């Protein structure tokens, strides 16, 4: 039971990181960075047209997969709690 709660906590942290990742890229580029490897030199940067949509699809897929896992784990926690009750 405790392990399931730790897994839920890690999934929630992962969901927050997935949502924050595009903001971190923009923040890094705005402070003079390379966007975590997205663009080496901002003046001569050529990003392929498919890079943005590919990143978006990857993040959305990971988000929904983690939400699916979270739902399964929460249902199993509820099932285990019903089994442990005295009533």
Q: Sketch the domain layout of the chain as residue ranges.
A: 2-39+47-84
pLDDT, tens only, 4-16: 889 999 999 999 9
Q: What is the pLDDT of residues 22-78, one digit of tens each?
A: 888 888 888 877 777 777 777 777 777 887 888 889 999 999 999 999 999 999 888
Taken as a whole, the chain contains a residue count of 87
pTM of the model: 0.73
Residue 21: partners with Cβ closer than 8 Å, 6 or more residues away: 59
- Outline where the chain has alpha helix (H): 2-30, 51-84
Distance between start and end Cα atoms, the chain:
19
> Widest CA span of the chain, in angstroms?
69
Distance CA 46, CA 66 (A): 32
């Amino acid at each position: 039971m405790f392990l399931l709660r730790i897994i839920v906590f890690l999934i929630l942290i992962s969901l927050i990181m997935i949502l924050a990742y595009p903001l971190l890229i923009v923040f890094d580029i705005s402070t003079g960075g390379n966007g975590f490897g997205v663009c080496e030199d901002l003046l001569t940067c050529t990003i392929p047209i498919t890079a943005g949509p590919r990143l978006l699809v990857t993040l959305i897929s990971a988000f929904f997969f983690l939400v699916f896992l979270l739902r399964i784990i929460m249902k199993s926690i509820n099932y285990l709690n019903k089994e442990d009750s005295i009533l």
